[in-house]
Amino acid sequence: MIITDTHTHLYSEAFNEDRKEMMLRAIAQNITRFFIPAIDSTYTKAMLQLEQDYPKYVFLMMGLHPTSVKANYKEELKHVEELLSKRSFVAIGEIGIDLYWDTSTLNIQQDAFRHQIQLAKQYKLPIVIHCREAFNEIFQILEEEKDDDLLGIFHCFTGTIEQAQQAISYNMKLGIGGVVTFKNGKIDQFLNQIDLKHIVLETDAPYLSPTPYRGKRNESSYIIKVLEKLSDLYNMSQEKIAEITTANSKAIFKV
């Protein structure tokens, strides 16, 4: 059994004290594919080091996270472009719109999102979307940009079944993580109505720990709790869920 964590920030400072042990815990449980989203230029060095340390297991994305879209965002986008021109990445991510922390930056967040979708199309790469309190704003841009070259993952999906179906209509897989195990997470109430071919697993470590670790630091080994929950929801073996979701990740990332 191979389990894929399609979204995990393993370079985070939260793992500085025990990164090796944390990786070993995950690998021991057959979690052997780790897809690493970018945040901004301040993390690039740590991401590249992580890939160097775990070349068989780690796959890097490149992009500018919406909460890092500030006054200097055009310089940050140039950094993204420079790295894309120098080496290969598996996706443009994580990108999108976040209106939870700051609504005043909506215009520049929209600009950065559109620009990075264009980069993804230019390099024939999938996008990995961060959406927080911004479904309408995200969907508006995806509607403008939809074509055969637009595909990717709607990371940390927390919307309604209608929003899930709309995301899927734009060639997006749904990234399902710890929220599916929450009592008030809501997506568990309809997820089994979504065909598994549209689902990938993720942790978003060190954030969004699944039950029973909620409130503590998340790590990739905890994806087992997400797998267990989906096994219950779909009435399917964990092995089969892992097989299908890993195949879905390969279809998106081409690795």
∠ CA 229-235-239, rounded to 5°: 70
Give the pairing of strands 172-176 and 31-36. unpaired
Which of these, 94, 102, 87, 76, lies nearest to 39 by C-alpha position? 94
Q: Using one digit for the tens of pLDDT, what is the confidence trace for 146-163?
A: 999 999 999 999 999 999
Superfamily (CATH) of domain 3-253? Metal-dependent hydrolases (3.20.20.140)
The predicted structure's pLDDT at residue 214: 95
Q: What is the pLDDT of residue 27?
A: 98
Which pLDDT belongs to residue 51? 98
The domain limits of the chain are 3-253
> Tokens 């279809």 map to which residue?
251
pLDDT at position 65: 98
Rounded Cα gap, residues 204 and 217, in angstroms? 10
> Quick one: pLDDT at residue 81?
98
Relative orientation angle of helices 135-145 and 106-122, to the nearest 10 degrees:
40
- pLDDT tens per residue across span 209-235: 999 999 999 999 999 999 999 999 999
- Tokens 């637009």 sit on residue: 150
50 burial type by CB count under 10 A (0-12 exposed, 13-18 middle, 19+ buried): buried
Stated pTM of the model:
0.97
Q: Looking at the chain, how many residues does it have?
A: 255
What local confidence, expressed as pLDDT, does residue 135 receive?
97
Predicted confidence at residue 245, as pLDDT, reads 98
pLDDT, residue 25, reads 98
- What are the CB-based long-range contacts (under 8 Å, 24+) for 114-120? 114/141, 114/144, 114/145, 115/77, 116/63, 116/64, 116/77, 116/80, 116/92, 117/92, 117/141, 117/145, 117/150, 119/80, 119/81, 119/84, 119/92, 120/91, 120/92, 120/149, 120/150, 120/152
The predicted structure's pLDDT at residue 178? 97
pLDDT tens for the 255 residues of the chain, in order: 999 999 999 999 999 999 999 999 999 999 999 999 999 999 999 999 999 999 999 999 999 999 999 999 999 999 999 999 999 999 999 999 999 999 999 999 999 999 999 999 999 999 999 999 999 999 999 999 999 999 999 999 999 999 999 999 999 999 999 999 999 989 999 999 999 999 999 999 999 999 999 999 999 999 999 999 999 999 999 999 999 999 999 999 999
Q: What is the pLDDT of residue 211?
A: 96
How confident is the model at residue 59, as a pLDDT?
98
